[in-house]
Amino acid sequence: MIKLLIVDDSALMRRQLKTIFQAEGDFVIEVARNGEEAVELNKRFEPDIITLDINMPQMDGLTALSLLMAERPVPVVMVSSLTEKGAISTFEALNLGAVDYIPKPDGTISLSITEIEEEIIAKVRAAAGAHLKKSRGLAARIRGDLSVSKVTGAAPPKRSTLRVEQGARNDGLVIIGVSTGGPRTLEDILPQLPGDFPWPVLVAQHMPPSFTRPFAERINQLCALDVFELQRPMPLEPGKICIGRGGADMVVMRRANRLMVSTRPESVQHLWHPSVELLGESVLQHCEPQRVIGVLLTGMGYDGAEAFAELKRRGARTIAESEQTAVVFGMPAELIKRGGATKVLPMERVAEQIMQWVNAG
């Protein structure tokens, strides 16, 4: 049995979520109306997984999350509104240690939660077995050196110690696929790439439409490279990190013998969006595999595994994040199972390996 704590100030949301998980038959459920009750029940009920609303009276979700992680760390899935403000709060929650988030389709009180019932169940089940990552600066926040309410936005930029060697070619491409646990993981990997990194980087991170622009802006604050959300067709440019837009897919194409990256409406043939598999298929069609590096990071499911495995078979170099650091060892595990991983590496060694391959030509 999985012990689940549902935390929401809305009686309707508590009832809806409880009904969904009671129907599964293998959940023991407790509910809390606010952050204070959540902190107490985390110690008394000892849940395996918590769903936590962000906007609550008495104690908001971010404050509660920081206390939960300090007193008894547990996998947490945030319940977030589909707004840019909700996105920013969600990224801060992920930075504090939350595993994933559930978007409310109708805002604060969702009357159509059943529309995403399968997604909610899948995310909570995946998070229940997730690998927790320590939050940067959490101890300082809890001690009171910094208030949680003041710790918003991205962390200060990191200075990369990696260097591009003279003579490194600039005709390659890096593609990255990631899902659950991705924002925190990308915040650790992408800032390690130096400012003179010579290849374009395309990132397919599963996210809803209103989240990808603030996420790209957040990552841009951390990186020496320019980071942006893909809005329209554009040439692949060295040293640019392009985040696929939520609510669409991202593909590579060739126009007038020039490689471009573009958005397209979500493909009904693929379950997750922006689709990693579709990105990989387009790279197979238009790029020389020997000049491609594919990286498959944390995430549930198998998105991208087959396309990345085929890229490796045709000469590309690929990295699967290891179980040691993956929040959810789903997507990288599927790549490994298909024999598609040139290297299996923990998160902290991914950027270094990319640089080694780029410098090797």
Q: Distance (Å, rounded) from C-alpha 307 to C-alpha 278?
A: 8
Closest CA to 61 of 87, 37, 34, 86: 34
Active-site residue identified among 206, 273, 275, 322: 206
Q: Checking phi first, is residue 265 left (phi over 0); if not, alpha (psi -120 to 50) or beta?
A: beta
Residue 303 annotated to the active site: yes
Residue 206 annotated to the active site: yes
The C-alpha angle 130, 133, 134, rounded to 5 degrees, equals: 145
Contact present, 289 and 317 (Cβ < 8 Å): no
Residue 291 phi, psi dihedral angles, 5° rounding: -105, 20
Q: Would you call 291 helix, strand, or coil by DSSP?
A: helix
Distances (CA, A) of 318 to 34, 112, 356: 44, 40, 13
Q: Distance (Å, rounded) from C-alpha 212 to C-alpha 57?
A: 28
Q: Distance (Å, rounded) from C-alpha 185 to C-alpha 286?
A: 28
Active-site residue identified among 179, 210, 282, 322: 179
One-letter-per-residue 3-state SS of 63-95: HHHHHHHHHCCCCEEEEEECCHHHHHHHHHHHH
Q: What is the CB neighbour count within 10 angstroms for residue 282?
A: 23
Q: Which two tokens stand for residue 274?
A: 């922006």
Closest CA to 244 of 258, 259, 226, 264: 264
Active site residues: 179, 206, 303
